[in-house]
Amino acid sequence: MNISVKIPVLLAAFSVLAFGPTGLHASERNLDAHEHGVSTLRLAQEDKILQFELEAPGEDIVGFEHAAENDQQKLAVENALSQLQKPEAIFILPDDAECTASDQHAEFETEEDHAGFHVTWTMTCEEPVNATSMEVRFFSIFQRAEEIEVEAIGNAGQAAMEVEKDQTNVDLSQAIGG
């Protein structure tokens, strides 16, 4: 995958996300644009509301990119979805931000040559000023994953970060604020 194609796709999806919840299922998303090993996490804050969207290549999560073809693959997809349906336990905001998760949605999407997991969720935080860091358990759960490209926009500004496999914490202070 060449990066000159990938960046406009990410930016298009991100700008839609940033401007409202209706963008979460935007048709701009394209599985062909993903890079194996690299997931994307977009985060948009509007005061107490933090909306998240995660896209992860099927390769990174279950090791294949097609519809499940046998019991073992069906089980792998089911297991992944059951974990991704609790994304707030994978990307954990600090206790003192007092956040509550809602609207969790996870699905496995397949296209001709690629497949991926698409996860959306909302965190409502009573003290968003404290939501300036996030614990990441993604890599310990999904050990094929290598990197997450994080894009965040919020009361404190915008930030784009690459979170590598050995990182367990993300600094959101450039984007998220009270």
Tokens standing for residue 23: 């963008």
Q: Is 18 within 8 Å of 153 (Cβ atoms)? A: yes
Please give the single-letter amino acid code of residue 39: S
Among 51, 65, 153, 159, binds Zn ion (CB under 5 A): 65
d(CA 41, CA 120): 10
Residue nearest to Zn ion (CB): 114
Question: Considering the complex, what minimum distance in angstroms separates the CB of residue 48 from Zn ion?
Answer: 36
* Piece of the chain touching Zn ion by CB under 5 A; list 3-11, 59-67, 101-109, 170-178: 59-67
Give me the 114-153 binding string for Zn ion, x by CB under 5 A, dash otherwise: x---------------------------------------
Question: Considering the complex, what minimum distance in angstroms separates the CB of residue 59 from Zn ion?
Answer: 6
Of 53 and 65, the one with the shorter C-beta distance to Zn ion is 65
Q: How does strand 38-46 pair with strand 147-154?
A: parallel
Question: Considering the complex, what minimum distance in angstroms separates the CB of residue 60 from Zn ion?
Answer: 9
Which three-class secondary structure string do you get for 88-151?
A: HHCEECCHHHCEEEEEEEEEEEECCCCEEEEEEEEEEECCHHHCCEEEECHHHHCCCCCEEEEE
* Piece of the chain touching Zn ion by CB under 5 A; list 22-30, 56-64, 99-107, 127-135: 56-64
Question: Considering the complex, what minimum distance in angstroms separates the CB of residue 34 from Zn ion?
Answer: 5
Of 110 and 174, the one with the shorter C-beta distance to Zn ion is 110
Q: Smallest Cα–Cα separation from 81: which of 53, 55, 105, 113?
A: 105
Q: Which residues contact Zn ion by CB under 5 A?
A: 57, 65, 114
